[in-house]
Amino acid sequence: MSFEESIQQDYATLAVEQVEQLTHREQRILQQAIGRETLEQFAHSCAARIIVDEPMTVGEAMASEHAEEWKSSP
């Protein structure tokens, strides 16, 4: 597991704990809002969005598979 995956897993665990602390009514409302996704899947989805793998230097940006996007950024 990479460092970023480890961090995401930690955030997912925290998110699951937060969801579990919601009242039954709040959990039902959240479940209605997210549809078919389980509350645990929702927590993991949220955690996956927290870490954005962005380069730290121009060199890293230009060496990445997204170099063209970085070149076109303002």
pLDDT number for residue 73: 66
Euclidean distance between CA atoms 42 and 34, whole angstroms: 7
Nearest to 73 by CA among 64, 9, 26, 28: 64
Task: Count H helices and E strands in the chain, helices first.
Answer: 5, 0
Domain that holds residue 8: 3-72
> How many domains is the chain built from?
1
| Residues 6+ away with beta carbon under 8 Å from 32 | none
**What's the pLDDT tens digit per position in 8-32?**
888 889 888 998 999 999 999 998 9
> What one-letter code names the amino acid at 69?
E
Give percent of the chain with pLDDT exceeding 90: 15
**Is residue 44 within a helix (H) or strand (E), and if so which, with residue range?**
helix 39-50
The mean predicted confidence, pLDDT, of the chain is 83
Lowest-pLDDT range, 2-6, 30-34, 58-62, 68-72?
2-6
Q: What is the mean pLDDT of residues 22-51?
A: 86
